[in-house]
Amino acid sequence: MYESYFGLTTKPFELVPNPRFLFNSQSHKKAINYLKYGLQERAGFILLTGEVGSGKTTIIRDIINNLDDDISLSMVFNTRVTAKQVIAMINEDFGLEVSGKDKVALVRDLNDHLVGLHARKKRAVVIIDEAQNLTPTILEEIRLLSNLEADSFKLLQIILVGQPELKQIITRPELRQLRQRISVHCHLQPLTREESEAYVYHRLAMAGNRNALRWHDGTFDTLFGYSGGIPRLINVFCDFVLLAAFVEETRELTRELVDEVIGDVSWDRHLDTESPAKITLSVADDDHEEMADRLLRFEQRLACLDAVQEEEGWIAKRLAVHEDLLKKLADRQTSDTGRLEVAMERICRQLDWLIAMSGAGKEATASLPKSPVVEIDERPISPSPVASAPGPLPKKRLFGRRG
pLDDT digits (tens, 9 = 90+) for 13-23: 998 889 899 99
Domain boundaries, the chain: 26-188, 191-330
More confident: 376 or 112: 112
The top-scoring range by mean pLDDT among 206-220, 341-355, 359-373 is 206-220
Task: Estimate to the nearest angstrom the gap between the alpha carbon of 252 and the chain centroid.
Answer: 27
Residue 265 phi, psi dihedral angles, 5° rounding: -90, -5
Q: Any idea what DSSP says for residue 376? A: P
Residue 373 phi, psi dihedral angles, 5° rounding: -85, 130
Task: Give percent of the chain above pLDDT 90.
Answer: 51
The yes-or-no verdict on residue 369 having pLDDT over 50 is no
The yes-or-no verdict on residue 296 having pLDDT over 50 is no
Q: What is the pLDDT of residues 239-264, one digit of tens each?
A: 989 998 999 899 999 988 988 887 77
Look over the chain and give the mean of its residue pLDDT values, rounded to a whole number.
Answer: 77
User: Measured in Å, how far apart are the chain's first and last C-alpha atoms?
Assistant: 25
Amino acid identity, residue 373?
Answer: V
Distance between CA 59 and CA 224 in Å, rounded?
22
Q: Which fold has domain 26-188?
A: Rossmann fold (3.40.50)
Q: What is the pLDDT of residues 120-143, one digit of tens each?
A: 999 999 999 999 999 999 999 999
For residue 134, the model assigns a pLDDT of 94
44-48, 351-355, 386-390: the lowest-pLDDT one: 386-390
More confident: 352 or 212: 212
Answer yes or no: are the C-beta atoms of 134 and 143 closer than 8 Å. Answer: no
Q: What is the pLDDT of residues 188-218, one digit of tens each?
A: 999 999 999 999 999 999 999 999 999 999 9
Q: Any idea what DSSP says for residue 378? A: -
For residue 339, the model assigns a pLDDT of 59
56-60, 67-71, 137-141: the lowest-pLDDT one: 67-71
